[in-house]
Amino acid sequence: MKRLGLLGGTFDPPHYGHLVLAEQARIQLQLDRVLFIPAAQPPHKPTAEVTPIAHRLQMLELAIAGNPFFEISRADIDRPGPHYTVDLLTILREAYPEAEFFFLMGSDSLVDLPRWRDPHRLIQMTWLAVMPRPGYVVHMPLLEQALPGISRRLIWLDAPFLDIASHDLRRRVRQGGSIRYLVPPEVEAYIHAHGLYRNADRPSTP
Ligand SMILES: Nc1ncnc2c1ncn2[C@@H]1O[C@H](COP(=O)(O)OP(=O)(O)OP(=O)(O)O)[C@@H](O)[C@H]1O
Ligand SMILES: O=C(O)c1ccc[n+]([C@@H]2O[C@H](COP(=O)([O-])O)[C@@H](O)[C@H]2O)c1
């Protein structure tokens, strides 16, 4: 495999924002495959507030089913957390020695990138393909100051602004609202069947 898209996330729950990011990157960057990489322990999210990985993994399987170019990697499940991306890229490089990496993200992640673990090394290890996200304007001179050379590693995807976010979906479910048309129907059904996000207490592992 030559050109590999990598979409790391919490996917709590997965939604159409994730799927559009992956699909637009696949087409625009001519990727051979996109790996969805759920982080069991995302470094910048409080562990107690994240849904057990077994639920998130099952929802992600439902979300990507039917797209032959999409695949799930267990790389950030099968190793101890917190799941820093620079370590993930090191592991994936061993697994895919020949591949060119494109780490996919929304512009909120790009704004946060200087606070990730070893971001200087990270940007040497992969291209960053970024989808603009409402509310997260990237100030390039400031970013370039924090991470010299980053501009040359960035690819902006041409995608519509999609104001869909997992935290907003969780809030809607908790308040008895609708998430229809914001997540794939199979994901919506899973959330309701398992009573996810109904209250602030975390559900148990399925
Ligand atoms: N609507 C969107 N548009 C562009 N990128 C997105 C969108 N939703 C998520 N992403 C990107 O996908 C990656 C994984 O996101 P994540 O699983 O944390 O979802 P999220 O919606 O950002 O969650 P939360 O609202 O809980 O922070 C991140 O890089 C994020 O920027
Ligand atoms: O490496 C880091 O320091 C780091 C900090 C925050 C997030 N990440 C990764 O970015 C991806 C999206 O994370 P999140 O919290 O936005 O769901 C996921 O793969 C995380 O492991 C990585």
* Contact present, 122 and 24 (Cβ < 8 Å): no
pTM flag (> 0.80): yes
Position 205 confidence tier, pLDDT thresholds 50, 70, 90: low
Q: What average pLDDT does range 110-117 have in this prediction? A: 98
CATH of residue 69: 3.40.50.620
Atom of ligand 1 nearest to the CA of 131: 4
Positions of E strands within 39-162: 70-72, 100-106, 127-131, 154-156
From 88, 109, 121, 136, give the residue whose CB has the most ligand 2 atoms within 8 Å, as the site to mutate.
109
Position 18 confidence tier, pLDDT thresholds 50, 70, 90: very high
Distance (Å, whole) CA 104 – CA 80: 23
Residue 79, domain member (yes or no): yes
The CB of 21 under 6 Å from ligand 1? The reply is: yes
pLDDT for the residue numbered 199: 81
Residues making up the chain, counted from first to last: 206
Distance (Å, whole) CA 178 – CA 182: 9
Residue 188, domain member (yes or no): no
Q: Answer whether residue 101 shows pLDDT above 80.
A: yes
From 109, 126, 136, 168, give the residue whose CB has the most ligand 1 atoms within 8 Å, as the site to mutate.
109
33-38 and 100-106 strand pairing: unpaired
From 85, 86, 92, 167, give the residue whose CB has the most ligand 2 atoms within 8 Å, as the site to mutate.
85
Residue 121, domain member (yes or no): yes
The CB of 85 under 6 Å from ligand 1? The reply is: no
Residue 203, domain member (yes or no): no
Q: What's the gap in Å between 105 CA and the centre of ligand 1?
A: 7
Q: Cis omega before residue 13 (within 30°)?
A: yes
Mean pLDDT of the residues in the chain: 96
The CB of 127 under 6 Å from ligand 2? The reply is: no
The CB of 45 under 6 Å from ligand 2? The reply is: yes
Residue 54, domain member (yes or no): yes
Number of domains in the chain: 1
Output the six-digit token pair for 99: 């591949």
| Model confidence pLDDT, tens digit, residues 175-197 | 999 999 999 999 999 999 999 99
Position 6 confidence tier, pLDDT thresholds 50, 70, 90: very high
Atom of ligand 2 nearest to the CA of 122: 1
Residue 169, domain member (yes or no): no
The CB of 182 under 6 Å from ligand 1? The reply is: no
Residue 124, domain member (yes or no): yes
* Contact present, 113 and 119 (Cβ < 8 Å): yes
Residue 99, domain member (yes or no): yes
| Model confidence pLDDT, tens digit, residues 76-88 | 999 999 999 999 9
Distance (Å, whole) CA 121 – CA 188: 38
Q: What's the gap in Å between 51 CA and the centre of ligand 2?
A: 16
Give the ligand whose atoms come closest to the C-alpha of residue 108: 1
Q: Which domain holds residue 71?
A: 3-164
> What CA–CA distances, in Å, run from 169 to 45, 91, 101, 176?
16, 32, 30, 11
